[in-house]
A and B are shown apart, each in its own frame.
Chain A
Amino acid sequence: MEVAIVILTGVFFLVSIYLILSRHIIRVLLGVAMLGNGVNLTIFTGGRITREIPPIIGNNASVPLEGIANPLPQALVLTAIVIAFSFFAFLLVLVFRTYQELGTDDTAEMRDAEPKGEASPPLGY
């Protein structure tokens, strides 16, 4: 079971990195969103996988049953999902505003900070 999820995680990485390498800023954004899922799956799988039994203590018991899912990676991933989402929202707005300001979605044309053919530094004293 774990092997299948591991390979799926690999596919997540493959696709998201391919998208991030693009010059198209929306595709970069989509890639970042998927990368978050890939990372979450990595953490989740690293804590080993069991089927179906959630880490919840039953009524009238003080400790859970044997064979429940590992709660620790779940707690970590829960935090990560929320942070990835706020990160995604910020990037989205950034992309939107960049597009409004520069009129392009091609990263190669966004050269306000490092313009092409910048003058050489002065040689005098």
Chain B
Amino acid sequence: MQLTFYALFAPFIAALFAPMLVRMFNHNAGWILAVVPALLFFHYTGFLPEIAGGGRVTGGVEWIPSFNVNFSWFIDGLSLTFALLITGIGTLIILYAAGYMKGHPQQGRFLSFMLMFMGAMQGLVLSDSFLMFFVFWELTSITSFLLIGFNHDKERSRRAAMQALVVTGLGGLSLLAGLIVIWNITGVSEISLLLGTGDTLRESPYYLAAFLLILGGAFTKSAQFPLHFWLPNAMEAPTPVSAYLHSATMVKAGVFLLMRMNPVMGDTVLWETVLPLFGGVTLLVGTWLAVRQTDLKLMLAYTTVASLGLLVMLTGFGTDKAIEGAVLYLIAHSLFKGCLFMVAGNVDHEAGTRDVTKLGGLMAAMPITFGAALLAALSMGGLPPFVGFLAKEEIYYGIAAADGWSMFITAVAIVGNALMLVIGFAVALKPFLGAKVETPKAAHEAPLLMFAGPLVLAVLGLVGGLLSGAFHKFFSSPMASAVAGTPLKIEISVVPHLGLALTLSLVTVALGVAMYWAMAWLRGRMANLLEAIGWGPDIGFDQFMQSLVKGAAALTRKIQTGSMETYVTIVFVALLVSLFGGLYKADEWPQIPEFPRLFVYEWAVILICVIGLFSVIIAKNRLTAIVSLGIQGFGVALLFMLMGAPDLAFTQFMVETLSVVILALVMTRLRLLPQDHRSNYQIVQDGLISLGVATALTLILLGVVQTEFDPTLTEFFNAYSYTIAHGKNIVNVILVDFRGVDTFGEIAVVMVSGLAILALIRIMPRKTNPDLPRSENTEEII
């Protein structure tokens, strides 16, 4: 068995042991647990040379062979880079979480959820089969739900968790439908095979359906406008969750999906219009909303939304350079955004607040955290010599062109990037520089566990930029090749090249710095604007959920009125419709029968039955009703007698006698009103319903007796009753011999109802109601 197979399960197994380890070693368990993602990281680095050489690795085991479903994985440039990001950042995050949640009573549970998420995310990017991909996709939604709602005693957390689950869960269903459509179009259910299908998908008449459904999955997961609102709310989660799930990994799953599908679905007018449009709008909305915020985490969250928009925009733009820019930016973003979130967490943890207006001058108290923040912010702002700079240059190379559409997109990118720089500086500089501001806690440097993560990520952002040759060789070029579907070689380095891209970069930086100084003013304008609009998708979500609950309650009240009369009426009307519908559909109406010729005594018995039946209805008091019930019962018994069924007749006599006696005994204990509760209208309605059902049943039975009789079974029993079973009463032989087990079942039914009766009788009345009619003086009522 290949090692990757175990790698896919390793985080889940670690999650199983996390609570136990935390109980034994407290927060130091983080050091042990972090070994798992670290080992996975090293396992995946082993693939680097092969993938950098243009190779692809697939493997797997049969899962459900009868449905042709495999448990298979597929590693190329795209999935390998993602896997390295997930396990690499995951290692740092586990350490960070151990420090951040130190002393929390549920730290074990927290680390367990984090590891589960890691396993789900790792599975998602490595899956080859569609089914596995979908299962892991949904698992990330579920673990994200658990993590966002981790502080489940707060209503805001519960709401955020529910919101994330509803939005991404619906997206997951859309994805499943999309994958099934793709499966039907191409006939393959594995990603590695799908990538080899060429233009099949693009030329299919169902391309639009597949496109929209896949987009539904990607846009919800990657928080594209107008479905972006769940991501900022997800900041209710503890900071390690925000740093890991909602910036570096999970929210990029949607982008991952689009990048995965790009070689087979991209390069169409639809793809290259819809993706840049939504991505661009998301970029602008995200950055402008970020300016509005004062909470460090929320500022970062909105820039994450914006960055996802940028990535979607670039993925759909259609040029190779744009894809290279997207790939570089994705890696850079994971590094600096993960770092900045952890920085925000450190500030919150050590200074006691995340409100940027209440922070300042922390540089002296938290020098290492500040260092990490500064490096990350420079990368986020796209300044040399960081990876962020490479990404931004490549983006401008990719999208700047003379036609109107490109100029529009370029303008969007410039504004977005400038605002990104503003936010990056606001988060990284504002709390640390300037005069010392009094904070709720006396700030001091965070412990090793908590500054290791941000520092490593920030330094990696610098190293990647400096050693761009190796960085491209092993990470960005293979990934870009996988996204484009053709081999690409990225060559951008930190050495500035004079030209359009550099000019645009300078414009961006200048614009960003200008806006940084005007930030307070911008924030005020934004707040006024949002107030003027007054409604947003976040409020819309509440309205949607509330109308769902109200609608469900109203519907329930409508169809479950609590009135048994209504239920029974519906049942019989449904029966009426289906019986007549069946007769009409099959067109098997019975023929009009001849008038039956019966002996007088037979007519008499039938008449007795009819009289008994109708006297029950018109009976003025209970006793008459009971006696009438007995009359129809005895009438049936007589009929059995006349028609050659003495066994039935005897049983019927006995049962009817018992029924009448017991009923009479019980009735004397009840004080019942003799009148029918029904109004005249209801009498007519009920009468018509029962007449209809009875007519239908009569017609069917008439049809049955008019068909030819198949005597096979009867002849069998007649022939073998004596010769095999040695009994002369054939009915008895059938009951106790041929169908003995049935009779045993019948006895069991009788026994069970006897037990139920016993139970009912032995439960004492739960309350003594003084108004309850007593059994005295019942004679006069009966």
Q: Which residues of A contact B (CB under 8 A)?
A: 1-15, 17-24, 26-27, 30, 33-34, 37, 40-42, 44-58, 61-64, 68-72, 74-75, 77-79, 81-90, 92-94, 96-97, 99-101, 103, 105-108, 110-111, 113-116, 118, 120-121, 123-125
CB contacts (< 8 Å) of A124 on chain B: these are 155
Known interface pairs A37-B633, A92-B663; A13-B734 also in contact (CB < 8 Å): no
**Assuming A11-B609, A55-B718, A72-B714, what are 17 further A-B pairs, CB within 8 angstroms?**
A2-B705, A6-B705, A11-B694, A20-B572, A27-B625, A51-B642, A55-B730, A63-B723, A69-B644, A69-B645, A82-B655, A96-B670, A100-B765, A101-B766, A103-B771, A107-B564, A108-B565
The contact string, 1 if C-beta is below 8 Å from chain A, for chain B 709-727, is 1010110011101110000
Give the nearest-CB partner of B721 in chain A: A57
**Among A18, A62, A74, contact of B617 (Cβ-Cβ < 8 Å):** A18
Would you give the shortest CB distance from B768 to chain A, in whole angstroms?
A: 10
Kindly provide the distance from the CB of A103 to the nearest chain B CB, expressed in whole angstroms: 5
Contact B659 A62 (CB under 8 A): no
Q: Is B215 among interface residues, defined by CB-CB distance under 8 A?
A: no
User: A3-B594, A63-B719, A78-B735 given as contacts; is B644 within 8 A of A53 (CB)?
Assistant: yes
Mark each residue of chain B from 636 to 679: 1 if its CB lies under 8 Å from any CB of chain A, else 0: 10011011111110011001001100110011011011001110
Q: Which stretch (B169-177, B300-308, B344-352, B738-746) binds chain A?
A: B738-746
List 19 contacting pairs A-B, 8 Å CB cutoff, sorted by A: A3-B593, A4-B606, A10-B695, A12-B632, A24-B677, A30-B616, A34-B632, A52-B642, A68-B718, A70-B711, A70-B714, A71-B721, A72-B717, A72-B734, A82-B655, A93-B757, A101-B767, A105-B673, A111-B562
Inter-chain contacts of B632 with A (CB < 8 A): 12, 34, 37
| B689–A115 CB distance below 8 A | no
Complex Cα spacing A54 to B722, Å: 15
Cβ contact within 8 Å between B690 and A14: yes
| Contact between B689 and A9, CB atoms less than 8 A apart | no
Contacts of A94 in B (CB 8 A): 760
Are A114 and B562 also in contact (CB < 8 A) when A55-B718, A63-B719 are?
yes
Check B640–A44 contact: CB distance below 8 A: yes
Interface residue B731 (Cβ < 8 Å from any Cβ of A): yes
Would A115 and B562 count as touching, CB distance under 8 A? Answer: yes
- Complex interface: chain B residues within 8 A of A84 (CB): 655
Cα–Cα distance between A37 and B773 once the two chains are bound (Å):
33
In the complex, which of the residues A33, A47, A51, A81 contacts B652, with contact meaning CB atoms closer than 8 Å?
A: A81
Q: Which residues of B contact A113 (CB under 8 A)?
A: 562
Chain A positions within 8 Å of B652 at CB level: 81
User: A105 to B670, Cβ gap below 8 A?
Assistant: yes
Complex CA–CA separation, A68 to B714 (angstroms): 11
**How many angstroms between the C-alpha atoms of A19 and B646 in the bound complex?**
30
The answer, yes or no, to whether B436 is at the interface (CB within 8 Å) is no
Q: Show the binding face of B for A, using Cβ within 8 Å.
A: 155, 158-159, 162, 545-546, 549-550, 552-553, 557, 560-565, 568-569, 572, 593-598, 602-603, 606, 609-610, 613-614, 616-617, 622, 625, 629, 632-633, 636, 639-640, 642-648, 651-652, 655, 658-659, 662-663, 666-667, 669-670, 672-673, 676-678, 686-687, 689-691, 693-695, 697-698, 701-702, 704-705, 709, 711, 713-714, 717-719, 721-723, 728-731, 734-735, 739, 742-743, 746, 749-750, 753-754, 756-757, 760-761, 763, 765-767, 769, 771-773
CB distance from A101 to the nearest CB of B (A): 6
Bound form: Cα–Cα A119–B75 in Å: 55
Query: Which residues of chain A are within 8 angstroms of B568 by Cβ–Cβ distance?
Result: 20-21
> A3–B596 contact, CB under 8 A?
yes
- Min CB–CB distance B636 → chain A (angstroms): 5
B781–chain A nearest beta-carbon distance, Å: 12
Name which residue of chain A comes closest to B563, CB basis: A108
Contacts of A85 in B (CB 8 A): 655, 658-659
- Measured between beta carbons, the chain B residues less than 8 angstroms from A115 are 562
Q: A18-B617, A42-B697 are in contact. Are A48 and B705 (CB under 8 A)?
A: yes
Bound together, the chains give a CA A69 to CA B546 distance in angstroms of 66
Which residues in B have their C-beta under 8 angstroms from that of A46?
701, 704-705
Q: Output the nearest chain B residue to A103 by Cβ-Cβ distance.
A: B772
| Also in contact, A74 and B731, with CB within 8 A (given A51-B643, A96-B666) | yes
Please give, as numbers and ranges, the residues of chain A lying within 8 Å of B617 by CB-CB distance: 15, 18-19
User: B773 CB to closest chain A CB, in angstroms?
Assistant: 7
Q: What is the count of residue pairs linking A and B with beta-carbon distances less than 8 angstroms?
A: 288
* B730 touching A22, Cβ below 8 Å: no
Q: Assuming A42-B701, A114-B560, is B756 touching A90 (CB within 8 A)?
A: yes
The docked-state distance in angstroms from the alpha carbon of A13 to that of B691 is: 8
Is B672 a contact partner of A81 (Cβ separation < 8 A)?
A: no
Q: How far is the CA of A9 from the CA of B506 in the complex (A)?
A: 95
Given contacts A52-B642, A106-B677, A107-B563, contact A93 B750 (CB under 8 A): no
Dominant SS at the A interface? helix
| B162 partner, pick from A51, A71, A125, beta carbons under 8 A | A125
6 nearest A-B residue pairs (beta carbon): A69-B644, A114-B562, A10-B698, A17-B690, A14-B694, A75-B734
Residues in B neighbouring A52, C-beta threshold 8 A: 642-644
Which residues of B lie under 8 Å from residue A41 when comparing CB positions?
636, 639
A79:B746 contact, CB within 8 angstroms: yes
How far, in angstroms, from A97 to B765 measured CA to CA in the complex?
8
Q: What's the minimum C-beta distance from B561 to chain A, rounded to whole angstroms?
A: 8
> Counting chain A CB atoms within 10 Å of each CB, which of B560, B563, B636, B763 scores highest?
B636
A51 CB to nearest B CB, Å: 6
**Closest CB-CB distance, A81 to chain B, in whole Å?**
5
Complex contacts, A77 vs chain B, CB 8 Å:
645, 648
**Chain B contacts for A2, CB-based, 8 A:** 596, 705
B698–A57 CB distance below 8 A: no
Known A-B contacts A46-B701, A72-B734, A125-B158; A97 and B760 likewise in contact (beta carbons under 8 Å): yes
With A64-B718, A100-B772 in contact, is A9–B562 under 8 Å at CB? no
Provide the bound-state CA to CA distance between A56 and B563, in Å: 50
Q: Is the CB of B734 within 8 A of A123?
A: no
**Residues in chain A near residue B655, CB distance under 8 A:** 81-82, 84-85
Distance of A121 Cα from B545 Cα, bound (Å): 12
Cβ-defined contact, B670 with A75, below 8 A: no
Partner of A62, one of B593, B636, B666, B722: B722
When the two chains form the complex, which single residue of A5, A21, A42, A56 contacts B690, counting CB atoms closer than 8 Å?
A21
Of the candidates A15, A21, A48, A81, which one forms a contact with B689 in the assembled complex, judged by CB atoms under 8 Å apart?
Answer: A21
**Residues on the A chain within 8 Å of B662, using CB:** 89, 92
Are B734 and A125 touching (Cβ within 8 A)? no
What residues on B are CB-neighbors of A121 within 8 Å?
Answer: 549, 552-553
Shortest beta-carbon distance, B552 to chain A, in Å?
8
